[in-house]
Structure 1
Amino acid sequence: MSNHANFSFTLLDGTTFDLGSGVAQVVLVVNTASRCGFARQFDALQKLHDRYHAQGFTVLGVSSQSFGKQEVDMACDIAAAIKNKCSSVTFPITQLTAVRGKAIHPFYAWAATQVSIWGRPKWNFHKYLIGKNGECITWFSSATDPLAPKVIEAVEAALGQD
């Protein structure tokens, strides 16, 4: 098992998002669910994305029903539900993706090997920070605001690395 991410996700529009080594961007991977109480974080995630996108940073929202089935089923409905929570989400959002269980996406299976048991998603809006070289730098719990100082500091530090 590599210590570098190299994974693909299918986005709501059917295109592919490649994550990991060779992509040379910093990515905050967040498992999202539009019907979750933490869905209020979409606005903060968008602000974080906007603030650092020109420097090579993106948020990747990973739509999931892995916790409480708090996401709708269809890609077009997911997009509409997110738009209802946040007027303008421009960062990429995936089609439904399992973040745990038998059908777990390979990224989440890999990420679980990169962190302690405490660093694995326990609910929606868990965040993994992936560096330019595809390494898992750190993680943040669902309750952590995307604009919290510790998140900003980690993103800025990751962007500063070459």
Structure 2
Amino acid sequence: MDTNSSSDRDFSFTLLDGTTFHLCNGQVVLVVNTASRCGFARQFDALQRLHDRYHIHGFTVLGVSSQSFGKQEFEQSCDIATAIQNKWSSLTFPITELTAVRGKSIHPFYAWAATQVSWCGRPKWNFHKYLIGKDGQCITWFASSTDPLAPKVVEAIEAALGNQ
């Protein structure tokens, strides 16, 4: 496991509204690479339910818009926001502008996360999930096909929050 201080892992993302989200903000964060035109996009509803259930306890979902798999996301932030608003108007968790999760332009968070897990734990498709603790450590990961409300996801979030 990584031995750097949490400040070394203070990764930031630019959100669709142009503001900055700092990952190492004392919250438990489920980082999910998203694509609004992906078949797994049905998970947006479950991700919102997780966010609603645990946000008061210091948890958030961070949707990381990406075209890294199948180019299933729009290129412009305004188009991503419009697509999400049209299909999932009740989403309140933060969503980033287009971000590379693999390849030459990989976001520093995803480059770091790849060093924290085995090859199996790296994103293979949209809606891969990393659970990051309050201290910035990578706690675990979940495959794209894992439902965000699956018991193993909920149990990991609750454990990270201190069994809220």
Aligned residues: 159
Q: What is the distance in 2 between the residues matched to 1:94 and 1:141?
A: 20
For the 8 Å contact 1:42–1:85, the answer to whether it is kept is no
Aligned pair 1:12/2:26, yes or no? no
Q: Deviations over 1:65-117 (max 9, x none)?
A: 00000000111110111123323110000000000000000000000000000
Matched with 1:51 is 53
Between the aligned residues of both structures, percent identity stands at: 80
Matched with 2:93 is 91
Aligned pair 1:158/2:150, yes or no? no
For the 8 Å contact 1:49–1:58, the answer to whether it is kept is yes
Q: What is the distance in 2 between the residues matched to 1:99 and 1:84?
A: 25
Give the drift of 1:124: 0.2
After TM superposition, list the pairs within 5 Å mapping 1:123-162 onto structure 2. Answer: 123-160=125-162
2:29 to 22, 27, 30: 27
Q: What is the distance in 2 between the residues matched to 1:87 and 1:143?
A: 23
Q: What is the distance in 1 between the residues matched to 2:109 and 2:148?
A: 21
Q: Deviations over 1:108-157 (max 9, x none)?
A: 00000000000000000000000000000000000000000000000000
After the TM superposition, which segments of 4 or more aligned residues of structure 1 sit over 3 Å from their partners?
A: none
2:84 to 82, 86, 105: 82
1:108 to 91, 107, 110: 110
Give the drift of 1:6: 1.6
For the 8 Å contact 1:3–1:114, the answer to whether it is kept is no
For the 8 Å contact 1:33–1:65, the answer to whether it is kept is yes
Superposed CA RMSD: 1.2
The one-letter code of the counterpart of 2:52 is D
TM-score after normalising by structure 2? 0.94
Unaligned runs of 5+ in 1: none
TM-score after normalising by structure 1? 0.95
The one-letter code of the counterpart of 1:75 is S
The one-letter code of the counterpart of 2:65 is S
Deviates more, 1:95-104 or 1:75-84: 75-84
